[in-house]
Amino acid sequence: MYDRTNGYHKEHHRTHSQSHWFYNSQPFWLMLYFSFNLGLTLYNKGVLIRFPFAYSLTALHALCGSIGGFVLLKSGAYVPAKLTDADNLALIAFSVLYTINIAVSNLSLQLVTIPFHQVVRAATPIFTILLSMFLFGARSSRQKAASLIPVIAGVGLATYGDYYCTTPGLLLTILGTLLAAIKTIFTSILQSPPLLSKPSPQLPSAFRFLVPPRLHLHPLDLLTRMAPLAFIQCVLLAYMSGELEHVRHWSAHEMTPWKAVVLGLNGVIAFGLNIVSFTANKKAGPLSMTVAANVKQVLSIILAVLIFDLSISAMNAMGILLTLAGGAWYATVEYREKKARGRIR
């Protein structure tokens, strides 16, 4: 006789297992990354129009990350790792990289046009591949490398316009792109478990100290340790650039309760994006994250056109479609390669 109760429990267990797999899968976290990143990008554009203080806004994001991480720690959401003094120094160095990346990006934006800035930043996956090869001997397949061509070319077409730049602006934009690739790779390393054997080929001893240790940090643990350091550094940047004085004047003459709520909500969304970004990086890997960021860049153009009633040319539209197609191609190649390695069933 068929046991209905047993059948119900089996079906419930199967449904629960499928649901658990989905919420821990790479596609789920990449979708969250897209949603939070797009939302915060559009939100930041609106906020910076009325609060044009990039360093201070970043400091606010880091402050919300510090508070949120501390609350999650006290609630038992994760267990902090036990780190040595050398590990803590590595995290401080990583936080400096994080802050410098923001500073260089802001400085380069003052010297080049936004379309030019976006096109150069679209080369981040290329830097990621080259750095991974140099630092760890990791090689991407030909198909995966080929899928990056339409992504980068697509962003170039999608953002085609005034490509004016100065020589310092060009150099700073390229430096910012390199730093963005390094930051993405190092984020993945800090969350990776220690290797049981030494990697081959070995990194030259002259550069070995540049790579952070594999600390196997929980994404929330990394965020909670990073956010206070980033907050302090961003406040220092705001002070040294003279921005902090402008913020004081703005707060005294233009701050309202509604603006305070808008800024606070912006910080909360930024905290959510940090959690999603660190977790997605751990599950998807640095190259997938850089490609996802490029596709996000074009999707933000689409939403900006719809929300702000902007016009785009046929060439821009072609670039948007090309980038989306390249992103889909890369995702397909990534899925097939992981399935072939037995990481996906």
Give me the domain span that covers residue 242: 27-334
Task: Report residue 23's pLDDT band, with 50, 70 and 90 as the boundaries.
Answer: low
How do residues 54-110 score in pLDDT, each as one tens digit? 888 888 888 998 998 888 888 888 888 888 888 888 888 888 887 888 778 767 766
Q: Residue 342 and residue 338: Cα distance in Å, rounded?
A: 6
Q: For 323, how many CA atoms within 13 A lie in the half-sphere containing its CB?
A: 31
Task: Report residue 143's pLDDT band, with 50, 70 and 90 as the boundaries.
Answer: confident
Domain count, the chain: 1
What SS3 state is found at 242? coil
* E strand spans, the chain: none
Q: How far apart are the first and last CA of the chain?
A: 33
| pLDDT tops 60 at residue 19 | no
Q: Residue 179 domain-assigned?
A: yes
* 117/230: higher pLDDT: 230
**So what's the pLDDT on residue 218?**
82
Cβ of 260: how many Cβ atoms within 10 Å? 11
**So what's the pLDDT on residue 205?**
45
**So what's the pLDDT on residue 344?**
47
Q: Residue 115 domain-assigned?
A: yes
Q: Residue 8 domain-assigned?
A: no
* 99/293: higher pLDDT: 99
Q: What sign does the CA torsion over 81, 86, 58, 157 have?
A: negative
Q: How large is the average pLDDT for residues 140-159?
A: 79
Q: Which two tokens stand for residue 255?
A: 């701050």
How do residues 224-251 score in pLDDT, each as one tens digit? 888 899 899 989 989 998 999 999 999 9
How do residues 244-285 score in pLDDT, each as one tens digit? 999 999 999 888 999 899 999 988 888 888 778 767 766 766
Q: Residue 310 domain-assigned?
A: yes
Q: Which of 127-141, 149-163, 264-278 has the highest mean pLDDT?
A: 264-278
Q: Which two tokens stand for residue 28?
A: 């789920």
Q: Residue 9 domain-assigned?
A: no
Q: Which residues are CB-contacts of 42 (< 8 A; sequence separation ≥ 6)?
A: 300, 303, 304, 307
Q: Which of 31-45, 49-63, 194-208 has the highest mean pLDDT?
A: 49-63
Q: Name the pTM for this structure.
A: 0.68
Q: Residue 3 domain-assigned?
A: no
Q: How large is the average pLDDT for residues 129-156?
A: 77
How do residues 68-81 score in pLDDT, each as one tens digit? 888 888 888 888 88
Side chain identity, residue 332: T
Q: Which of 18-22, 44-48, 180-184 has the highest mean pLDDT?
A: 180-184
**So what's the pLDDT on residue 286?**
60
**So what's the pLDDT on residue 245?**
93
218: nearest Cα among 344, 69, 90, 71: 69
Q: Residue 121 domain-assigned?
A: yes
DSSP H/E element including 336: helix 314-340
Q: Residue 5 domain-assigned?
A: no
